Homo-oligomer: A and B are copies of this chain.
């Protein structure tokens, strides 16, 4: 199951999965806000003012490098929440939170969230599951940065953004893209042109249109699929867990040699 193709009336998945009463109480302490392209919701090292549950659009999490530059390590859409530091017991964000795809979100003040979280075990479970998937995303980004060509990474990035966007087209400059991917703008120019020559996308002065999603998936590295697989497996496991209770354990050791010399 994918995040599904963009729809106009989306709703945050974490909130949606909550029992009705929990959901209502949480909404009572929240507000609905627009996410504006380029807006910075929190700087690294600062206290987190709000947590955000995106409905559509997406929030990019950026880690600083060498004190000044910064690049994307994860992307939050309606499948999750931005401000997970609070969930883990810190008021301080280690990352920059940047609106990368315009849209809307439900937001909640830090203190309200902390209180709600303590008494709402369904919310805890939902966010734990999300965190598992998110960590897989960050880890995959780490290896992807190291191994894959820019063109494939760009394709993956566009797919991830498209999954979380309300439409097939969105505002997005090459300068911005270069910043996210941690490369030069001219690098993006070249990679984007190659995707355009394959009729997968088209772009024009900060406006990108996705034409051929399946083609884009083929042009992307496996990381896109692998991250989705891990997320969906987690979701399946949750369902099974609810139905049959506790499962059984399993051993699975091997040796390094198998990896180094397959």
Partner-B contacts on A (CB < 8 A): 38-43, 46-47, 49, 61, 63-71, 73-74, 84-85, 87-92, 94-96, 98, 109-111, 114, 125, 128-129, 131-132, 135-136, 138-147, 175-176, 179, 182, 221-223, 226, 230, 233-234, 237-238, 241, 246-247, 249-260, 262
Contacts and interface: CB of A to CB of B under 8 A. Distances in A.
A262 B64 CA distance: 14
A221 B66 contact: yes
Given A74-B139, A222-B66, A132 B43 contact: no
A69 B250 CA distance: 24
Nearest to A46: B252
Among A95, A142, A223, A262, find the residue whose CB has the most chain B CB atoms closer than 10 A.
Answer: A142
A129 B89 contact: yes
B132 A251 contact: no
A146 B142 CA distance: 8
Contacts of A256: 38-40, 98, 176
A262 B66 CA distance: 14
A156 B218 CA distance: 35
Given A140-B63, A143-B65, A255-B40, A132 B85 contact: yes
A52 B176 CA distance: 41
28 contacts: A40-B256, A41-B253, A46-B250, A49-B252, A61-B139, A63-B140, A64-B143, A68-B262, A70-B143, A71-B146, A87-B128, A88-B135, A89-B125, A89-B132, A89-B234, A90-B129, A90-B237, A91-B247, A92-B233, A92-B237, A94-B136, A94-B139, A109-B249, A135-B138, A138-B138, A143-B145, A143-B182, A179-B260
Nearest to A99: B256
Nearest to A182: B146
Nearest to A233: B92
B147 A89 contact: no
Nearest to A254: B40
Contacts of A146: 65, 71, 145-146, 182
A199 to B, nearest CB: 26
A143 to B, nearest CB: 5
A129 B88 contact: yes
B136 A65 contact: no
Nearest to A73: B139
Contacts of A246: 111, 114
Nearest to A138: B138
